[in-house]
Amino acid sequence: MDNMLDYNTLNKAFSTLGALLEEANAAQVNIVVCGGSSLIATGLVNRSTKDADIVAMLDSGGNIVEAQPLITGHERVAESI
């Protein structure tokens, strides 16, 4: 099984995560991603990666906050993808 994330699978994973969070009535969250997945998502590189590194989140005021721990329920939903 190919577990690599290219542009299409990365977008599908984030879209699925968003839909699952909405379905679970979880609070909206904005994530800050770095590494290969951020380069792929922005179209700066055309390759694949094994994971998406979430390094921080943005609060409702646009301020960077720690990603650990994830908001209750978000981690459970993310792991179900």
Listed range (14-23, 52-61, 67-76) with the worst mean pLDDT:
67-76
pLDDT at residue 74 is higher than 60: no
Residue 50: inside a domain, yes or no?
Answer: yes
Residue 51 lies in a domain: yes
pTM: 0.69
**In-domain check, residue 21:** yes
Instruction: State how many domains the chain has.
Output: 1
For residue 7, which of 32, 36, 29 has the smallest C-alpha distance?
Answer: 36
Residue 57 has pLDDT above 90, yes or no: no
Q: Tell me, yes or no, whether 1 lies in a domain.
A: no
Q: How large is the greatest C-alpha to C-alpha distance in the chain, in angstroms? A: 40
